[in-house]
């Protein structure tokens, strides 16, 4: 089975593709559609609280004919955050959980979980700790609540979960670790929380298949014109799986997006 996950940074920008960056985003989305994944998980949809517009829905259905589309949009702040699944097979159930996170985080459309006979397929858009780490404490509470949520699923059947987790776990996961120890996404607390998730019984599939291999990133800052050219990036997007099915993973990779900066999609190939 082939699964792809991507922080797209606005469904509307992709569908409209009126800017150079929008064109690149649309091209990547077409590339994903051509690969015919079993499911595409999307983060940061930035949809209105009411979900997809008619134009957006028609565009996605044309790209992914016969697929089932599920969206979880932010009701706390329209046009912010949000997640989506585009799945080839209809799931047994679909959940848009609230995990007891602080503030408005549970109303920001950050998680969707699809249940299938042999596994759960889930996606998450983890809150960023923010400028000057203003949300670091709340982010830590989110991490704890999210781990508890995934554990609850894993007690029933194996879990495959992906998304923008907004953390580079180890120094190998970003180009300039020494300069970023106090930056959102690479604080000791965020890294420790991610380590706790792994210790709870889950596997970082890309790193498991590429131990010690440097320069594998999934995000390059848009504000730096040379970040992609110099491969000065961060790996903050992940496919994780329950340890019970880790041996079934065949490949875990970052999809090439050419000159496009920001997030790249990630792909998981697994024999279930």
Q: How far is CA 3 from the centre of its chain?
A: 12
Q: Which residues are known catalytic residues? A: 125, 164
Percent of the chain whose pLDDT exceeds 70: 100
The confidence band for 244, taking pLDDT boundaries of 50, 70 and 90, is very high
Q: Strands of the chain (E only): list them.
A: 2-7, 39-43, 68-72, 83-87, 93-95, 111-115, 120-125, 159-164, 202-204, 219-220, 237-242, 249-254, 262-263, 266-270
At a CB cut-off of 8 Å and minimum separation 6, what does 207 contact?
Answer: 169, 170, 173
Residue 141: predicted pLDDT: 98
The confidence band for 20, taking pLDDT boundaries of 50, 70 and 90, is very high
pLDDT tens per residue, range 34-66? 999 999 999 999 999 999 999 999 999 999 999
Residue 68: predicted pLDDT: 98
Domain containing 257 — which CATH number?
A: 3.60.10.10
Mean pLDDT, range 118-124, rounded to an integer: 98
pTM of structure:
0.98
pLDDT tens per residue, range 153-171? 999 999 999 999 999 999 9
User: Measuring CA to CA, which residue among 90, 94, 84, 38 is closest to residue 60?
Assistant: 84
Q: Which residue has the tokens 């989110």?
A: 142
Question: Which range of residues forms the domain containing residue 93?
Answer: 2-270
Q: How far, in Å, CA of 136 to CA of 190, rounded? A: 8
Percent of the chain whose pLDDT exceeds 90: 99
Residue 238: predicted pLDDT: 98
The number of distinct structural domains making up the chain is: 1
Residue 31: predicted pLDDT: 97
Residue 27: predicted pLDDT: 97
The confidence band for 231, taking pLDDT boundaries of 50, 70 and 90, is very high
Residue 121: predicted pLDDT: 99
SS3 65: coil
Let me know how long the chain is: 272
Residue 247: predicted pLDDT: 98
The confidence band for 266, taking pLDDT boundaries of 50, 70 and 90, is very high
Residue 169: predicted pLDDT: 98
pLDDT tens per residue, range 128-152? 999 899 999 999 999 999 999 999 9
The confidence band for 23, taking pLDDT boundaries of 50, 70 and 90, is very high
Q: Which residue has the tokens 């010690």?
A: 212
């Amino acid at each position: 089975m082939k699964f792809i996950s991507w922080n797209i940074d606005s469904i509307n920008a992709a569908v409209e593709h009126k800017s150079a960056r929008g064109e690149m985003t649309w091209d990547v989305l077409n590339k994903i559609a051509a690969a015919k994944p079993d499911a595409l998980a999307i983060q940061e949809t930035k949809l209105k609280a009411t979900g997809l517009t008619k134009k957006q829905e028609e565009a996605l259905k044309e790209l992914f004919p016969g697929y089932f589309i599920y969206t979880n949009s932010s009701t706390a702040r329209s046009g912010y955050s949000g997640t989506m699944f585009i799945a080839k097979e209809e799931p047994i159930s679909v959940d848009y959980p609230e995990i007891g996170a602080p503030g408005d985080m549970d109303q920001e459309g950050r998680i969707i979980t699809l249940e299938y006979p042999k596994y759960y397929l889930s996606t998450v858009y983890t809150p960023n700790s923010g400028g000057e780490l203003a949300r670091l404490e709340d982010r830590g509470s989110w991490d704890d609540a999210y781990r508890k949520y995934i554990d609850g699923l894993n007690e029933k059947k194996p879990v495959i979960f992906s998304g923008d987790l907004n953390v580079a776990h180890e120094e190998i996961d970003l180009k300039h670790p020494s300069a970023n120890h106090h930056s959102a996404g690479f604080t000791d607390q965020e890294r420790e929380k991610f380590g706790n998730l792994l210790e709870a019984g889950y596997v970082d599939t890309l790193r498991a298949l590429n131990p010690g291999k440097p320069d594998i990133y999934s995000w390059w800052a848009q504000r730096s014109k040379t970040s992609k050219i110099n491969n000065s990036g961060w790996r903050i997007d992940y496919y994780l799986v329950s340890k019970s099915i880790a041996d079934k993973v065949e490949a875990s990779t970052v999809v090439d997006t050419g000159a496009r900066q920001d997030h790249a999609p990630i792909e998981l190939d697994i024999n279930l």
